[in-house]
C-alpha cells in the first residue's frame, strides 16, 4: 500500500518528463532530422532564454504570485547592455567617459533587471497591490523606457565579445546553454536546499502560517521579485547577444512563454507546489514542440494552437491529480 | 414537527464532526442551536441545506425522507439559510437581489422589471422594511440587509429559515426589529432555526433549544425549562474526568509580566477589544485563561505575539527586560511561541511534510538546509510527542487532528521557547490524544516552561492550570488559584455583566 502510493507519487512527479520523452519519440519517428546533434543543440540554444526567465517565474509562482513584466524588463536590460557596451556613458560636464567591457554590460543588465524586479516587489509588499496589476504596470513602463532609451531603433554591431556569448561554443556546448544550465543549477540549489527556498514554498503553501512561524514574508517576496527581474536581465543579455543587436521590441510575450513553461512543468498557480526542474522540462516541451512542428513544415500559426493545447492538457492533468489526492 | 434529523453523522479526514445527532425543529417555533466553536453547528447547517450532500443518517421533512444533493434542491424544498456573512450582491438593487437566479421574464423573454419591483415591494411591506425596491444593497445598513435576506427567503416561499448568528453585526434597535419579524413569521407557522451565542437574546426569542458539543447532541428542551447557567454548562461540558491534581509546584520567579494591555477594534478605533489587562506568568506554571466566545482570549494571545502592533498598547517585561513586539519574529526571538487555534489555516502548511513544518521557525538559523539533520530532529519529536505517522516525510494534510496538533507543538518546541501560548489546544481532537497532550503540557511545565493556556473547556482549564484568569468582554473579570477555582466560580465570572 505504502509502496504503491510512493510509486504513484513518483509517476506523478515524472509525468512531464514522460510527456517530453513521448513527444521526442513521436517527432523522431516523423522526422529524421530531429535527432541530429546539430538540431538538438539548436533546440537547447533556443530554449535557453525561456529557461532563464521561467526559472525566475517559477519562484514567483511558487509564492502564489505572477510576474508579467519579465518580457519588457528583458528588453530594457538587453538594450542597456547593448548601449553601454557600444557607447559607454559620457559625463560631458566633467569631461569624463566611462566605457563598458562586455562583462560590465552584462552586470549592468542584471542590475537593471534586478532593480526593476525589486521595484515590483516593493509595490506589491508596501502597498499590497496584487502582483498581477503591479507587474502589468511594469510591463508597460519597462517597454516604454526601452523605446525611450533606444529611440525605437535597434542598437547593433556590438562586437565579437558579446557575439561569442550568443553564438559561441565552449567545450562542445553552446555558450547560452552553459549559461542557462548554470542558472538552473543555482536555482535548483536555492529552491531545494536553502532556508530561503523553503520560505518560498511555505509562503505559497500557507502565507498566514508562514507569517506566524516568524518568517519575514515581505523580505522574501522582495527578494524573489528582484531575482525574477535579474534573471530577465540575463535573458536580455542572451537575446541581445544572439542577434548581436538589441531590438526595442525584444521579448514581447516572453512572459507568457515563461508562465507556460512553469505551468506545463507542474507548478501550481495557487502556489506551494512545483519545482525548478519541472519548469525546465516544461520549457523543453515547448521548445521541442516548436522545433518539431518547424521540421514537419507545419505553419507557425498551428504552432501557437499546439502550444495552447499542450498548456490546457498540462493544467487539466494537474487538476485531476490534485482532486485525486 | 416539520424538519427532523435522525442519526446524522459526518466525518472529515481526521475528525468526526457529527456523531449520531438526532433532533427535530418544530414548525411555528424558534429553535435555537447552541455550541462552542467546533461543536458541529455549521456542519449540521450545511447538511440540512444541501451544501454537504454526503453524510450518514437521514433527514425528514414533514415525515417524508429527503436527501438534498445541492443547495438548490434544499431551497426548492423550502429550506433557506441566512448566513452570518450575508450573500447579497452590493452593486445590485434590492429587487435584483431578491430575484437573482429566478428572474421573471415577459413573453418576449425580456426581464419584467415592473413585475419584479412590484412583488419586491409587497414582500418588503410584509416585513415592514420601508425602502424602494430599486435601492442598491450597498447603500443599506447591515440590519436592513439582514431583512432583505429574510425577504429573499420569503419570496422563495421558504417554510424553514435557518439563521446563523443573525444579530452579530446589528444594533439593539435593529435586533428588536428583527425579533419582531421573526415572531410574525413564527405566527405564520414558519420554522425558524436560530444560532446565536448571545444568551439574553435566546431567552427572549427562542422556544426550543438544542446543544451540541464535540459533534454530539448533549441536551435539548424548552427554553422555559432551562437557565443560562445550565446551557453554558452543557456547552462547555464536564464529561472529561477531572484528573486529580498533583501538589502545586513551588511558585517560580516571574518570567513574563504584562500591564495595561489594550487593543482597539480593527474598524472602529473608539471601541476597545481588550482593556486594562495585566497579569504575570511564573516560571514553570500553567496559567489558564477561561472565557466564553468573544471574550477576547485569542486577541490577547495575538497581541502578545506581535500581530496587532498598530492597534495595541501595553507594557511588557520578560525576565526584567522591557519588550514591545512589532512582529512574530520579534516575539519568537524573545522566547515566545504561539500554537494557534486553527491549526489548518494558521498552524501548519498542510502541503509540506512533518519535518519541513517542524523546521519552519528554526530553519532560518542556517542559510543552507540540512535535510538529514532536519529529519533527525523531526524524528526525535515524533517519538517524544508520540505522533502517529509512518515517517516524517508524511504530508501534514494526511494526519489526524490530534497528530496535526502535536506537529504544531513540536514546531514550537523546536524553538525552545520560554513561554508557550496555546489557544484551544485540544479543540476537535479525540479523547486519547487530548489526554496525551495534557500529559505533555504538564511535563513541559515541570521542566520550567511557562504556559499560557486559553480554553473554553472548563474541565481542561481546571485539570491543567496552576492559576486561572477569567475574561469577559475584553477584560479580566476573575482571578483564581487552582485550589479556589471551581466550575461555578469560573462560569459566574465569565458571564457578561
pLDDT in tens, A246-260: 899 999 989 999 999
Domain B254-494 classification at class level: alpha beta
How far apart CA A32 and CA B346 sit, in angstroms, is 56
Q: Classify B327 as helix, strand or coil.
A: coil
Indicate whether A5 pLDDT > 60: no
Interface check A272 vs B, CB under 8 A: yes
- pLDDT at position A187 is 96
Residue B337 contacts residue B419 (beta carbons within 8 Å): yes
User: Considering only CB atoms, which chain A residues are within 8 Å of B352?
Assistant: 201-202, 205, 272
Interface check A196 vs B, CB under 8 A: yes
- pLDDT at position B495 is 81
Lowest mean pLDDT among B137-146, B196-205, B246-255: B246-255
How far apart CA A43 and CA B147 sit, in angstroms, is 65
pLDDT per residue over B178-201, tens digit each? Answer: 888 889 888 988 899 998 877 778
Cell reading at B221? 428542551
Top-ranked range on mean pLDDT: pick from A185-194, A303-312, B247-256 = A185-194
Indicate whether B237 pLDDT > 90: no
Cβ within 8 Å, pair A205-B350: yes
pLDDT per residue over B5-18, tens digit each? Answer: 899 998 876 667 88
Beta carbons within 8 Å of B150's beta carbon, 6+ residues apart: B82, B127, B161, B181, B185
The residue with greater pLDDT, A96 or B251, is A96
Partners of B21 in beta bridges: B8
Pairing between strand B254-264 and A89-91? Answer: unpaired
The residue with greater pLDDT, B304 or A157, is B304
Count of Cβ atoms closer than 10 Å to residue A157 Cβ? 11
Pick from A2, A197, A213: CB nearest B361? A213
The ipTM, to two decimals, is 0.81
Summary mean pLDDT of chain A: 88
What is the average pLDDT across A277-287?
93
User: Considering only CB atoms, which chain B residues are within 8 Å of A196?
Assistant: 367
Give percent above pLDDT 90 in chain B: 23
Residue B453 contacts residue B461 (beta carbons within 8 Å): yes
Name the minimum distance, in Å, from the CA of A294 to any CA of chain B: 40
What is the average pLDDT across B476-489?
87
Count of Cβ atoms closer than 10 Å to residue A262 Cβ? 29
Cβ within 8 Å, pair B366-A195: yes
Phi, psi of B342, deg, nearest 5: -95, 95
pLDDT per residue over B106-120, tens digit each? Answer: 777 788 888 888 999
- Which domains are assigned to chain A? 37-319 (1.10.3470)
- The string of DSSP letters for B212-271 reads EETTEEEEEEEGGG--HHHHHHHHH---SPPPPPPPPPPP--EEEEEEEEEEE-SS-TTS
pLDDT per residue over A97-122, tens digit each? Answer: 777 788 888 999 999 999 999 999 99
Cβ within 8 Å, pair A215-B367: no
Partners of A156 in beta bridges: A245
Pick from A193, A214, A272: CB nearest B328? A214
Residue B469 contacts residue B278 (beta carbons within 8 Å): no
The residue with greater pLDDT, B110 or B340, is B340
User: Considering only CB atoms, which chain B residues are within 8 Å of A198?
Assistant: 356, 359-360, 363, 369
How far apart CA B269 and CA B264 sit, in angstroms, is 6
Interface check B414 vs A, CB under 8 A: no
pLDDT per residue over A299-314, tens digit each? Answer: 888 888 888 888 888 8
Which of B325, B330, B351, B355 to mutate against chain A (most A CBs within 10 Å)? B351
Residue A68 contacts residue A269 (beta carbons within 8 Å): no
Interface check A273 vs B, CB under 8 A: yes
Top-ranked range on mean pLDDT: pick from A9-13, B268-272, B383-387, B431-435 = B383-387
CATH for the B3-236 domain, from 1.10.10.10, 3.40.50.300, 1.10.15.40, 3.40.50.2300: 3.40.50.300
Residue of B nearest to A272 (CA): B351
Cell reading at A37? 546533434
Indicate whether A135 pLDDT > 90: yes
Interface check B326 vs A, CB under 8 A: no
Name the minimum distance, in Å, from the CA of A202 to any CA of chain B: 7
What is the average pLDDT across B116-142?
86
Residue B478 contacts residue B292 (beta carbons within 8 Å): no
Where do the domains of chain B lie? 3-236, 254-494
Residue A1 pLDDT grade (very low, low, confident, very high; cuts 50, 70, 90): very low
Pairing between strand B286-291 and B450-455? Answer: parallel
- pLDDT at position A325 is 47
User: Considering only CB atoms, which chain A residues are within 8 Å of B338?
Assistant: 212
Indicate whether B52 pLDDT > 70: yes
Cβ within 8 Å, pair B364-A211: no
- Rounded to two decimals, the pTM is 0.78
Give percent above pLDDT 70 in chain B: 95
- pLDDT at position A52 is 95
pLDDT per residue over A10-35, tens digit each? Answer: 666 677 888 889 989 999 998 888 88
Interface check B332 vs A, CB under 8 A: yes
Cβ within 8 Å, pair B368-A273: no
* Long-range Cβ pairs for the range B265-269 (8 Å, 24+): B265/B311, B266/B311
- pLDDT at position B240 is 47
CA–CA–CA angle A133, A136, A141 (5° rounding): 125
pLDDT per residue over B91-108, tens digit each? Answer: 888 988 888 877 888 777
Indicate whether B246 pLDDT > 70: no
How far apart CA B298 and CA B305 sit, in angstroms, is 11
Residue B335 contacts residue B418 (beta carbons within 8 Å): yes
- pLDDT at position A2 is 42
Pick from B307, B348, B369: CB nearest A198? B369
- The string of DSSP letters for B411-429 reads HHHTT--SEEEEESTTTT-
Cβ within 8 Å, pair A272-B349: yes
Residue of A nearest to B370 (CA): A193
Residue B344 contacts residue A209 (beta carbons within 8 Å): no
What is the average pLDDT across B227-255?
67
Interface check A300 vs B, CB under 8 A: no
- pLDDT at position B401 is 78
Residue B42 contacts residue B62 (beta carbons within 8 Å): no
Lowest mean pLDDT among A97-101, A191-195, B123-127: A97-101
Pick from B340, B347, B356: CB nearest A198? B356
Indicate whether B142 pLDDT > 80: no
Cβ within 8 Å, pair A209-B411: no
Beta carbons within 8 Å of A51's beta carbon, 6+ residues apart: A180, A183, A184, A261, A279, A280, A283
What is the average pLDDT across B130-154?
85
Interface check A137 vs B, CB under 8 A: no
Summary mean pLDDT of chain B: 85
- pLDDT at position B99 is 86
Residue A160 pLDDT grade (very low, low, confident, very high; cuts 50, 70, 90): confident
Residue of B nearest to A190 (CA): B368
How far apart CA A167 and CA A173 sit, in angstroms, is 10
Same CATH fold assignment for domains B3-236 and B254-494 = yes
Cβ within 8 Å, pair B352-A205: yes
Sign of CA pseudo-dihedral A298, A300, A301, A304: positive
Please give, one letter per residue, the 3-state secondary structure of chain A: CHHHHHHHHHHHHCHHHHHHHHHHHHHHHHCCCCCCHHHHHHHHHHHHHHHHHHHHHHHHHHCCCCCCCHHHHHHHHHHHHHHHHHHCEEEHHHCEEECCCHHHHHHHHHHHHHHHHHHHHHHHHHCCCCHHHHHHHHHHHHHHHHHHHHCCCCEECCCHHHHHHHHCEECCEEHHHHHHHHHHHHHHHHHHHEHHHHHHHHHHHCHHHHHHCCCCHHHHHHHHHHHHHHHHHHHHHHHHHHHCEECCCCCCCHHHHHHHHHHHCCCCCCCCCCCHHHHHHHHHHHHHHHHHHHHCCCCHHHHHHHHHHHHHHHHHHHHHHHHHC
User: Considering only CB atoms, which chain B residues are within 8 Å of A199?
Assistant: 363
Amino acid at each position: 500500500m505504502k509502496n504503491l502510493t510512493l510509486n504513484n507519487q513518483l509517476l506523478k512527479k515524472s509525468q512531464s518528463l514522460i510527456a517530453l520523452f513521448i513527444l521526442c519519440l513521436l517527432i523522431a519517428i516523423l522526422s529524421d532530422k530531429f535527432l541530429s546533434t546539430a538540431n538538438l543543440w539548436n533546440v537547447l540554444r533556443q530554449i535557453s532564454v525561456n529557461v532563464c526567465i521561467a526559472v525566475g517565474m517559477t519562484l514567483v509562482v511558487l509564492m502564489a504570485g505572477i510576474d508579467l513584466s519579465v518580457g519588457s524588463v528583458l528588453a530594457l536590460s538587453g538594450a542597456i547592455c547593448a548601449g553601454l557596451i557600444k557607447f559607454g556613458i559620457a559625463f560631458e560636464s566633467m569631461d569624463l567617459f566611462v566605457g563598458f567591457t562586455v562583462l560590465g554590460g552584462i552586470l549592468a543588465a542584471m542590475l537593471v533587471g534586478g532593480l526593476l524586479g525589486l521595484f515590483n516587489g516593493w509595490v506589491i509588499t508596501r502597498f499590497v497591490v496584487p502582483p498581477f496589476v503591479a507587474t502589468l504596470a511594469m510591463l508597460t513602463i519597462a517597454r516604454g523606457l526601452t523605446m525611450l532609451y533606444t529611440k525605437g531603433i535597434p542598437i547593433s554591431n556590438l562586437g565579437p565579445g558579446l557575439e561569442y556569448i550568443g553564438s559561441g561554443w565552449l567545450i562542445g556546448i553552446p555558450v547560452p546553454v552553459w549559461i542557462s544550465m548554470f542558472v538552473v543549477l543555482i536555482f535548483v540549489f536555492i529552491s531545494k536546499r536553502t532556508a530561503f527556498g523553503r520560505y518560498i514554498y511555505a509562503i505559497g503553501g500557507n502565507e498566514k502560517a508562514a507569517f506566524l512561524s516568524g518568517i519575514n514574508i515581505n523580505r522574501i517576496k522582495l527578494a524573489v521579485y528582484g531575482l525574477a527581474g535579474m534573471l530577465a536581465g540575463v535573458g536580455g543579455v542572451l537575446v541581445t547577444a544572439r542577434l548581436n543587436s538589441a531590438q526595442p521590441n525584444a521579448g514581447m510575450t516572453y512572459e507568457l512563454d515563461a508562465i507556460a513553461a512553469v505551468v506545463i512543468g507542474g507548478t501550481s498557480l495557487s502556489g506551494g507546489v512545483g519545482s525548478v526542474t519541472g519548469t525546465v522540462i516544461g520549457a523543453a516541451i515547448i521548445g521541442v514542440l516548436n522545433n518539431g512542428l518547424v521540421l514537419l513544415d507545419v505553419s507557425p500559426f498551428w504552432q501557437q494552437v499546439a502550444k495552447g493545447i499542450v498548456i490546457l492538457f498540462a493544467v487539466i492533468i494537474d487538476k485531476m491529480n490534485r482532486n485525486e489526492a | 414537527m416539520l424538519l427532523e434529523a435522525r442519526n446524522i453523522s459526518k466525518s472529515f479526514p481526521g475528525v468526526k464532526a457529527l456523531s449520531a445527532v438526532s433532533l427535530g425543529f418544530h414548525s411555528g417555533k424558534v429553535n435555537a442551536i447552541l455550541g462552542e466553536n467546533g461543536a458541529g453547528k455549521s456542519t449540521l447547517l450545511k447538511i440540512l441545506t444541501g451544501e454537504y450532500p454526503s453524510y450518514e443518517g437521514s433527514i425528514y421533512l414533514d415525515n417524508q425522507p429527503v436527501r438534498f444533493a445541492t443547495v438548490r434542491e434544499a431551497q426548492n424544498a423550502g429550506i433557506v439559510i441566512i448566513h452570518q456573512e450575508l450573500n447579497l450582491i452590493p452593486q445590485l438593487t434590492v429587487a435584483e437581489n431578491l430575484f437573482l437566479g429566478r428572474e421573471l421574464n415577459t413573453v418576449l423573454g425580456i426581464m419584467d422589471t415592473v413585475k419584479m419591483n412590484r412583488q419586491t415591494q409587497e414582500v418588503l411591506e410584509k416585513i415592514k422594511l420601508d425602502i424602494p425596491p430599486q435601492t442598491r444593497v450597498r447603500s443599506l445598513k447591515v440590519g436592513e440587509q439582514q431583512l432583505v435576506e429574510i425577504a429573499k427567503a420569503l419570496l422563495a416561499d421558504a417554510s424553514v429559515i435557518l439563521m446563523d448568528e443573525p444579530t452579530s453585526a446589528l444594533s439593539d434597535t435593529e435586533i428588536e426589529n428583527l425579533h419582531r419579524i421573526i415572531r410574525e413569521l413564527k405566527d405564520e407557522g414558519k420554522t425558524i432555526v436560530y444560532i446565536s451565542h448571545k444568551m439574553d437574546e435566546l431567552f427572549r426569542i427562542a422556544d426550543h433549544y438544542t446543544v451540541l458539543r464535540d459533534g454530539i447532541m448533549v441536551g435539548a428542551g424548552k427554553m422555559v425549562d432551562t437557565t443560562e447557567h445550565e446551557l453554558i454548562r452543557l456547552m462547555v461540558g464536564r464529561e472529561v474526568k477531572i484528573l486529580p491534581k498533583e501538589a502545586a509546584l513551588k511558585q517560580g520567579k516571574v518570567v513574563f509580566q504584562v500591564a495595561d494591555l489594550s487593543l482597539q477594534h480593527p474598524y472602529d478605533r473608539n471601541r476597545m477589544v481588550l482593556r486594562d489587562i495585566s497579569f504575570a506568568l511564573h516560571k514553570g506554571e500553567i496559567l489558564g485563561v477561561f472565557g466564553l466566545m468573544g471574550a477576547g482570549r485569542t486577541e490577547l494571545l495575538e497581541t502578545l505575539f506581535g500581530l496587532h502592533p498598530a492597534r495595541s498598547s501595553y507594557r511588557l517585561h520578560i525576565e526584567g527586560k522591557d519588550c514591545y513586539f512589532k512582529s512574530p519574529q520579534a516575539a519568537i526571538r524573545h522566547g515566545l511561541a504561539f500554537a494557534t487555534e486553527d491549526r489548518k489555516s494558521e498552524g501548519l502548511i498542510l502541503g509540506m511534510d512533518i519535518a519541513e513544518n517542524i523546521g519552519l521557525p528554526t530553519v532560518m538559523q542556517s542559510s543552507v538546509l540540512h535535510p538529514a539533520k532536519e529529519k533527525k530532529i523531526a524524528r526525535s519529536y515524533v517519538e517524544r510527542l508520540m505522533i502517529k505517522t509512518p515517517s516524517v516525510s508524511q504530508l501534514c494534510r494526511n494526519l489526524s487532528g490530534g497528530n496535526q496538533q502535536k506537529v504544531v507543538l513540536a514546531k514550537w518546541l523546536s524553538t525552545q521557547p520560554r513561554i508557550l501560548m496555546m489557544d484551544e489546544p485540544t479543540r476537535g481532537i479525540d479523547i486519547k490524544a487530548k489526554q496525551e497532550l495534557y500529559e505533555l503540557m504538564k511535563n513541559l511545565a515541570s521542566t520550567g516552561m511557562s504556559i499560557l493556556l486559553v480554553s473554553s473547556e472548563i474541565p481542561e482549564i481546571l485539570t491543567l492550570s496552576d492559576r486561572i484568569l477569567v475574561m469577559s468582554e475584553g477584560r479580566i473579570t476573575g482571578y483564581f488559584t487552582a485550589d479556589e477555582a471551581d466550575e461555578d466560580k469560573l462560569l459566574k465570572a465569565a458571564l457578561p455583566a
